[in-house]
Amino acid sequence: LSLERFQNTTGESSNNLVMTKTNVQRSIRDLTSAEETAALLDDKNVHSLMCLAGVYYDKQDFANTIDTLWKVIDLEIDNIPAHEFLNKVFWECKDLDNFLSSYDRMLDHIPSHLEMQSSKIQMQIIAEQYEEALQTLNKLPSELSNHPMMLHLASVILTRLNDDSRAQVALDRCLKIEPQNTRFLIDKSVYHIKTKQYNSANALLHAATKIEPFNQETLAYLASVWKLASAEHYQWLYNYQHFVEQQNIQQA
């Protein structure tokens, strides 16, 4: 109602306002109204179409979701969120014939698109298609194969395939290129925890905390190391007596 009042008062009926109203209706699960509102959106605007696709997805109207996302890609072929959304729907619908097809359409024309190649490989990892993801990596143009983003993905895939030695070689190459990358430091520390090299894991995680002091993942792994190897430090970080208390909640 406040949006309608704003629209009536100002005469404003912008596409952004319609998207806002649509998303509010989606958030309260008034999907019939959301679809009616979304019908007023500019059908040549990629943001509008992504919004409309979201409405169709919420309604489990997957055919229209897919059709709308293809329209986004036709307008903006390098729109990575659209590719990811579309292939998520293909996977959920068990449409394996079309799974990743939008990426292939894009990468046939521009195989050196780093972010698109990365997105495709990440989708394969999520789908647990590790061998296929490795094949995608092996077919990358030479200018991409040594990029730290791709080397890191290689380390993730090889770890999932239980090939730790090759995974660590790839990860070490990542750290040589970007020694201050917290993602790489954390992943290296996880391997050291797995192999019970607690001192080196601790050193890596401390280096990560200097870069991002409040990174919750880093602190969680530090807690794991300290629980396994340093009870005193673990107690300091997870001081239950200091941070946790019990209170009675009185009924009104």
Q: Tell me which H or E stretch contains 216.
A: helix 216-229
Closest CA to 202 of 213, 212, 192: 192
pLDDT at 252: 62
Tokens 């990365």 locate to 118
Query: Mind listing the pLDDT tens digit for each residue in 188-201?
Result: 999 999 999 999 99
Per-residue pLDDT band for 4 (boundaries 50, 70, 90) equals low
pTM for this predicted structure: 0.84
Query: Mind listing the pLDDT tens digit for each residue in 24-70?
Result: 999 999 999 999 999 989 889 999 999 999 999 999 999 999 999 99
Looking at residue 98, the DSSP 8-state letter turns out to be T
pLDDT at 248: 86
Q: What percent of the chain lies above the pLDDT cut of 90? A: 79
Burial of 55 (0-12, 13-18, 19+ CB in 10 A): buried
Q: Is the pLDDT of residue 186 over 80?
A: yes
Beta carbons within 10 angstroms of residue 117's beta carbon: 25
Query: Mind listing the pLDDT tens digit for each residue in 109-166?
Result: 899 999 999 999 999 999 999 999 999 999 999 999 999 999 999 999 999 999 999 9
Amino acid at 14: S
Quote the tokens at residue 89.
């729907």
* Rounded-to-integer distance, Cα 189 and Cα 193, Å: 6
